[in-house]
Amino acid sequence: EDIGVHFRGLGPPGLGVNGQQFNDFGDPAQAAELASELGRTNDLGAYFDDGQDGDFRARMENLYDRQLGSDEFRGSGGLSFQWTFLDDMQLELVLRAVSKSERIELVTAPRLLVANSARSHLAVLNQVSYVQDFDVEIAQASSIADPVVRVTHEGVILDVRPVVSADRRFVTMELRPTVARLKRPIAERVTTLGSQTSVTIQLPEIEYQRVRTTIPIPDGGTVMLGGMKEIERQDYASGVPILNKVPILSALFERKGTFVSNRKLLILLKADIVIPSEHEPTEAEMAAHAAN
């Protein structure tokens, strides 16, 4: 959710019309150019000329230093409202309000047949390629940076070891689930090679969550593993000092954004004891099959 008010024109946020920055009169530009940069264009949010020596121009934007939320959510959409007042004083106001939500349920249902007391390994992973390094190849009077590509993984890894009781009524499960999550966007770093060529390498950061437990389960029973969750909350606020503290009036001089992300992983395990002798065909079934 992102709601804010700007006193500016309809130029791109953070910039004036045609990419011109709105700044003070310390600009080294010539006086003739100041009219186009600071004049009555849609760059401005407020303009007043008393007809004599007074000339007041202003622009107010409440910007964030970093992106609100994740890459999946953009600030587009929602409500955009413009209000313009034209008189001796000219005032232009832009209101932006957007609220977005997303809910995803991902179900993976693999089946494993494991021998008694044997360890089994299951992985549901996503492979992500990244540039780890560069190899410099020297040619005639030049050098070439050859990227070294590596692969990292993110997803769920389940390591399980079942032990069946002597009476074949219970299964003791030794469980070791691991959740790996890659932080996005992948961090990048620009460096130079010996040939003074600038290259960009990537430094992936992975978060791990591990659980180690042993639990008995009756034959045909189900156990649920939880607790592997991640909660992220971002609260951004940008405004004009003092004015953004005045009740009611503060809504015109500030911008507030909130981002909440909840990730939960639930693992359901159902154990069934399989006795090979119970699944072998009888002599009558084998004879009937041979006759056919």
pLDDT digits (tens, 9 = 90+) for 204-258: 999 888 888 899 999 989 988 887 888 888 898 888 888 888 888 888 888 888 9
Residue 66 lies in a domain: yes
Q: How many domains does the chain have?
A: 2
Judge if 93 and 183 occupy the same domain: no
Judge if 25 and 89 occupy the same domain: yes
pLDDT attached to residue 162: 92
Judge if 211 and 159 occupy the same domain: yes
Within the chain, residue ranges assigned H as helices are 31-38, 276-279, 283-291
pLDDT attached to residue 145: 81
Judge if 71 and 124 occupy the same domain: no
pLDDT above 60 (res 22): no
Judge if 167 and 241 occupy the same domain: yes
Residue 238 lies in a domain: yes
Residue 280 lies in a domain: no
Residue 7 DSSP one-character state: B
Residue 225 lies in a domain: yes
Structural domain boundaries enclosing 9: 2-98
Residue 288 lies in a domain: no
pLDDT band at 18 (very low <50, low <70, confident <90, very high): very low
Residue 279 lies in a domain: no
If phi over 0 gives left and psi between -120 and 50 gives alpha, with beta otherwise, what is residue 170?
Answer: beta
Judge if 124 and 252 occupy the same domain: yes
What gap in Å lies between CA 133 and CA 146, rounded to an integer?
Answer: 9
Residue 135 lies in a domain: yes
pLDDT above 90 (res 129): yes
Residue 154 lies in a domain: yes
